[in-house]
Amino acid sequence: MNLDNSYARLPESFHASVEPDAAATPSMLAWNNDLAVELGLDSLAEDQGELARIFSGASRPAGMQPIALAYAGHQFGHFVPQLGDGRAALLGEVVTDAGKRYDIQLKGSGRTPYSRGGDGKSWLGPVLREYIVSEAMHHLGIPTTRALAAVATGDSVYRETVLPGAILTRIAASHLRVGTFEYFAARRNRDAVKKLTEYAIDRHYPEAMSDEAPYVAFFRRVVERQAELVAHWMAIGFIHGVMNTDNTSISGETLDYGPAAYMDEFQFKKVFSSIDQHGRYAFANQPPIAQWNLARLAESLLLICDAQKDFEAILSEFPSYYDSCYLNLMRAKLGLTEPQEGDHQLILSWLKHLHENALDYTLSFRELATRIDASDPPRFGEFEQRWRRRVGNQATEPVEALDLMNSVNPIFIPRNHRIEQAIREAVAGDLTVFKALNVVLAQPFSEQPEYAEYAAAPEPNECVTQTFCGT
C-alpha cells in the first residue's frame, strides 16, 4: 500500500494523530474488488487475514499515518464550532495510475480527540447500510464516497442493546467539508482558511488557480458541483436526511449516509430521519438547504477575500443553475429527447400525480415507459395522455424515447426494507441478502429476473418509516 499523507502535512490544527483500536478478531464481511482494482489495491486481497487486519486498523503498513480531521458545522441550522472525526481515522491517500487522489478512511475504529462523549465505534448496521447505499449511488452514476471494505471486529458495541462491532472503509475524493472551512473561520484563523482553500483548489479545482480571482472561481465551482449533486438526488428520489454543513463535501460527492433513504412512495415533503422533527431536510427542501450551506462557505471565505458581491451573485444563481440541471435529468427520465416550452410544468404534473396517488417513484418511471405506444385506458390519468402527446410531437422515434427512459430510470434502488432485512439477517450471521443486494445494485438499470423481488416496492407491513443517524 503506497500511501501519501498530504493532509497530514497541513498544520497541526487541521488534524490529530490517532491510533485505531486493534479489533479482537477482525474478519472480512465485504471487499469491493472492482474499486480495489481502480485504486491499485487489489493485490492486498491475496492475504485475507492481513486484509482484515489492515481495514480494521490492527495492522499498519509502512507509510500509514492515521489522523482524525478537525471540522465544525451547522447542524440543523445551529453552529457547532467543534466537531471533527469522532469515529473515523484517515489512513492516508492513494494516488491512482490516472493521477487521482483518494482518501482511505476507517469508520468505527475507536475514539479520537474529537469523540466528545462517543465511543468512536460502529455496529454492523450502519456499516452495511453505508456499504450498500454508497455503492448503489455510484452505480446509479451519482457522485459519492465509496465503500472499499466492511470488516467485523469481533468486539461488542453497546447501544440500546449489545451489538456486533464493524468498521467501514470509506473512499472519498477528499473529506473536505463546508464545516472544515467554518472550523477555522470561526476561530478567525485567516492563515488556516487560506491554506485550506489553496489545498482544496489544488486537490479539486486546480483550474481555479489560474483565474484572476481564484477564491471566487473556487467558490463558483463548489456551488456548481453541489447544484449538480442535489439535482441528481432529486431526480433519483434520494433523501440525504442530514444535510448539515459538516456533511456537505467540497468535492461535490454525496457524503455521510446516516439516515439517508431512497423514497418508495413519492411525497414532496418526505422525511425519514428520526431526528429531523421539523422536516428541515425533507425531500423538497434539499435544493434550498444546499444553497444555505453554500452561503456558510461563502461567509468563511470572506475572511480571506473581499468578494461579498461576487459570492452573493454566485449564490443567487444557484436556483436557476440547479433548475437547469434538474430539468435535464427529468427530461431524460420522461423520454423528452428534445427540450420544449412547458417541460417544467409537465414534470411538475407528473410529480403531482405520483404524490396524489402515493405511487412508487422508481417503478412508475419504468411503467410509464411501457405506456409510450399504449392504446388501452391510461394508467397515469390525464398526465399520461398529455405526456404521450408531448413525446409523440418529437422528431425522434418513440423507441428512442423508450431507450432513453430505460437507460436512466433504475429498476433497482436500495430499498429501505431490503436494507433492514440485510442488516437483521447479517446480525444473525447470514450475509445472503447483503451480498445479493450488492450484486443487484451494481446493475440498477438492467432486468435481473432472478432478483425480481429486490425491485418490488415494500408491502404495507414492510414499509420503513424511520431511519436513524450515526452509529
User: C-beta of 111: minimal distance to ligand AMP in Å?
Assistant: 7
Q: Does residue number 240 form part of the binding site for ligand AMP (CB under 6 A)?
A: no
Contact region with ligand AMP (CB under 6 A), list: 118-126, 133-141, 164-172, 301-309: 118-126
Taking CB under 5 A as the criterion, which residues in 253-272 touch Mg ion? 256
Beta strands of 96-206 (E only): which ranges? Answer: 101-107, 146-158, 162-172
> Residues near 172 by Cβ (< 8 Å), separated by ≥ 6?
102, 103, 105, 145, 146, 249, 251, 253, 255
Q: Does residue number 115 form part of the binding site for ligand AMP (CB under 6 A)?
A: yes
- How far is the CA of 24 from the CAs of 6, 55, 149, 154, 339, in angstroms? 31, 13, 17, 5, 58
Given 36, 67, 83, 152, the residue binding ligand AMP (CB under 6 A)? 83
User: C-beta of 286: minimal distance to ligand AMP in Å?
Assistant: 16
Contact region with ligand AMP (CB under 6 A), list: 112-120, 267-275, 367-375, 431-439: 112-120
Which 8-state DSSP code applies to residue 177?
B
Contact region with ligand AMP (CB under 6 A), list: 15-23, 78-86, 207-215, 440-448: 78-86
Given 247, 267, 273, 416, the residue binding Mg ion (CB under 5 A)? 247
Binding mask 425-464 for ligand AMP (x = CB under 6 A): ----------------------------------------
> Residues near 389 by Cβ (< 8 Å), separated by ≥ 6?
none
Helix axes 318-333, 398-408, angle to 10 degrees: 120
Is 246 annotated as catalytic?
A: yes
Q: Which of 288, 228, 231, 234 is nearest to 262 (CA)?
A: 234
Binding mask 189-228 for Mg ion (x = CB under 5 A): ----------------------------------------
Q: Which of 21, 103, 155, 246 is the catalytic position? A: 246
User: C-beta of 243: minimal distance to ligand AMP in Å?
Assistant: 10
In angstroms, the CA 216 to CA 306 distance is: 10
Cell matching residue 263: 423514497
Dihedral sign from CA coordinates of 454, 455, 460, 465: positive
Phi, psi dihedrals of residue 265, rounded to the nearest 5°: -70, 135
Taking CB under 6 A as the criterion, which residues in 85-104 touch ligand AMP? 85-87
- Give the residue numbers marked as catalytic: 246
* Interface contacts to Mg ion, rule CB under 5 A: 247, 256
